[in-house]
Amino acid sequence: MANTPENPVDDRRAVRVEIDRVSKSYNNQRVLDDVSFTIEPGEIFVIMGPSGAGKSTLMRAIVNLEKVDEGEIRINGLDAFKQQTHKLMHTAIVFQAGGLFNSLTVEENLGFYPREHRLYDRKTINEKVAYTLRILNLEGCADKMPSQLSGGMRKRVAIARSLIIEPRLLLFDEPTSELDPVSAANITEVIGTLREEYDMTSIVVSHDRELAASIGERVALMGSGKVVMLDTPQKLAESEDPEVTAFLKPSINCNNPRFRQNLAC
């Protein structure tokens, strides 16, 4: 295969994402401040950081849902601020809230986008929907409405829906938030498995340290629009940088009289 940006030399579907000196402000508040890093093909890359750090803004910029003030983002060398790039690179995003159509069944939710955009013929769509439901253990839910599902199942349906286009780059914004630990572990496992199934690059915004430690190959810790630290989960856990420990090992003030009775400080 030719060594073009669409078909990199190693013949992988998974893409490389380069974030190059990206800055963005909202009303004089610098939300992304000269952010640069590269995500390698096939990597599961986790972005962590406190609320308001700019994580979702960066995710929206990567998928061209947000304009930036400065900098570039490239996917396999192509401009991420052009919609055509996302078509070629099969980019998909799973939003925190899922964004399912409440009036459609699970099966109809999965088939909606490819049908609307006439991506495949009807038989192929049905096959892809059935295959994706099977991969995510959702076969029994095909005819259910989203309101009949648990939070964890709804997340799985949202992920399944994004898989229909066979993504080469899949972004997840807080995939395990609002889930109990068992469902969160299940979604974490799903994200890990999908990378093998689809040969794709995954970017996961999450506060979930279990997720970062178990499937994240590298983690970028963001704070106030900047990358505070970028390394393996283990290196982050070992870090003694106060900005890193403040996020990863927050301490409860044991001198607060309200807590004294319950905490063995």
Shorter beta-carbon distance to Mg ion: residue 48 or 164: 48
Cross-strand bridge partners of residue 230: 220
Question: Between 32 and 141, whose beta carbon lies closer to ligand ATP?
Answer: 32
Residue 5 found at the interface with ligand ATP (CB under 6 A): no
Q: 68 CB contacts (<8 Å, ≥6 apart)? A: 22, 23, 24, 32, 61, 81
* Subset of 31-50 contacting ligand ATP (CB under 6 A): 31, 49
Report the first-to-last Cα separation within the chain, whole angstroms.
62
Whether the Cβ atoms of residue 169 and residue 203 lie closer than 8 Å to each other:
yes
Contact predicate 166/110, CB 8 Å: no
The H or E element spanning position 243 is helix 242-248
* Residue whose CB is less far from Mg ion, 109 or 176: 176
The DSSP H or E segment spanning 178 is none
Q: Could you count the other beta carbons within 10 Å of the beta carbon of residue 63?
A: 18
Contact positions with ligand ATP (CB under 6 A) in 48-107: 49, 51-57
CB of 139 to Mg ion, least distance (A): 32
Window 8-27: contact mask with ligand ATP (x via CB under 6 A): ------------------x-
- Give the residue closest to Mg ion by C-beta: 56
Closer residue to Mg ion, CB minimum distance, 97 or 254: 97
Residues engaged in binding ligand ATP (CB under 6 A):
26, 31, 49, 51-57
